[in-house]
Each structure stands twice: as C-alpha cells, then as structure tokens.
Structure 1
C-alpha cells in the first residue's frame, strides 16, 4: 500500500485477502495439482483478466480503500507468483524441464493475453 494508507485500506486488504485466499483454495480443491498445475495457470489467467478489466472499467471511480481491497487484497491473494515458482522448481527437480518451460511460457502468454483482453473489454467505448 502507498504511504499514507489508513485503517480502511488495511481492513479492505485484510478482508479481500481472506476472500481471495478462500477462492484460491476452492479452485485448488476442485482442480487438484497433477503433473501440470492447471489450477495455478487458470487462477493467474483469470486474475490477470479481472484486474485489468477492473482497472480499465472502474479504477478511477473507486475509493482508495476499494482499490486496495480489490487489487492487492482480493486479486493479489487469489493470484500468486510463488505458486508458479514452486511448480517450476518442482518440475525442474524431477527432470521435467520441457514441461517447466511450457508451463512458464503458458503462464506468461495467458497472463499477458488475459490482461490485454481485460483492458480492452473494460475500456470505455
């Protein structure tokens, strides 16, 4: 959070973080980790789209506490780079370097693509 953030922003991030983490766990339970971490790829792509759409469509009209709760709170806890890193290291330690490279490429392409689509769809017409 930016300097000068107050208790509302802190509370919004805490509540958003609880919700995002719960959603993330739910998706992990529905799509359990297999040889390829589908749930992490899906969550990060959906989160990239959602944040980009939110930024393009509503960011300027939201109060600072709402931006903090939705951005770093909800979507920041829903998506995670650490899960990507652990998956890549795990694939690498088991000798699945090609799978790790494909997963990294898919993560970058889908995340950036989803963000681009979200910005375009959320942009005022």
Structure 2
C-alpha cells in the first residue's frame, strides 16, 4: 500500500472553494424551493440525487484529468458542499418525531434507492479505464 502524498495547498484550497460554492448553491435552492415541515423534503431529495448522478458522471469527462485541481474542486469540493447527509438525517428525524413515519421511511428508502439508480445510470457513461484513471488522479498525486 502506497502512503498518501502530503496535502497540497492548491488542492486544499480547491476543495474549500468548491465546498463553499456547493453549500451556497444548496442553500439558495432550499430558499427558492422550501418544503413544508410535515411533507416530503423534495428539495434536499433532489439535491442529493442530482449530486449522486453528477459525482458518478465526473469520471466520464476526460477534460477533468487535464488539470489535477479540477477533480478535487468538483468532487469533494462543489458536490461535497452541495449534497448533504446531515440535513437528510435531520429531516428524516423531524418527520418521525412529527408522527410522519411513512413519509420519513419513503424519504430515507427513496433517497438511497434513487441515488443508487442515478449513480448506476451515470456510471454507464464512463469506462472502467476512465474510472481507474480518475480515482488515481483525484488529489493523490
């Protein structure tokens, strides 16, 4: 097993800037499309599914490998800030606490199932070689 290389400031900065962009985009979408507290959280559901699909699509975009900062900027950066496990978990908890167990269950199961389908569909856009190259180049240089 090869030890991971030292953190490069340019990569740390790319992830930080990307994370800020993704988080602001997510926040703007939740303001533009607010969900009722007792209904299905469609906005975060859509954000997480889109994030899954886009993240799984990154290896299919060869131009990303032309610059070593782009994969960390877009993957853990923008998409890491855009998607949210904490809000997903809090919304599911709040639905259960509010007596909306069926909605919470649909939200949790649906998010995982649709997210996996999105990843599987997006994954078909890339080759095995592209995925291996992408993983090797994602900030571990």
Indicate whether the TM-score tops 0.5: yes
Contact persistence 2:15–2:78 (CA under 8 A): yes
Residue of 38, 42, 46 corresponding to 1:42: 46
- Unpaired runs of 5+ residues, structure 2, are 131-141
Q: Secondary structure at the match of 1:9?
A: helix
Note if contact 2:49-2:118 (Cα within 8 Å) is conserved in structure 1.
yes
Larger Rg: 2
Residues 59 and 67 in structure 1, CA contact (< 8 A), matched pair in contact too:
no
1:21 equivalent in alignment to 2:12? no
Deviation >4 Å, runs of 4+: none
CA distance in 2, matches of 1:75, 1:60: 15
Q: Match for residue 123 of structure 2?
A: 119
For the aligned residue pairs, the C-alpha RMSD in angstroms reads 1.9
TM-score between the two structures when normalised by the length of structure 1: 0.89
Among 110, 126, 129, the residue aligned to 1:106: 110
Partner of 1:10: 12
2:65 and 2:71 in contact (8 A); partners too:
no
- How many residue pairs align between the two structures? 123
- The answer for unaligned runs of 5 or more in structure 1 is none
Q: Is the 8 A contact 1:13 1:69 kept in 2?
A: yes
Higher helix proportion: 1
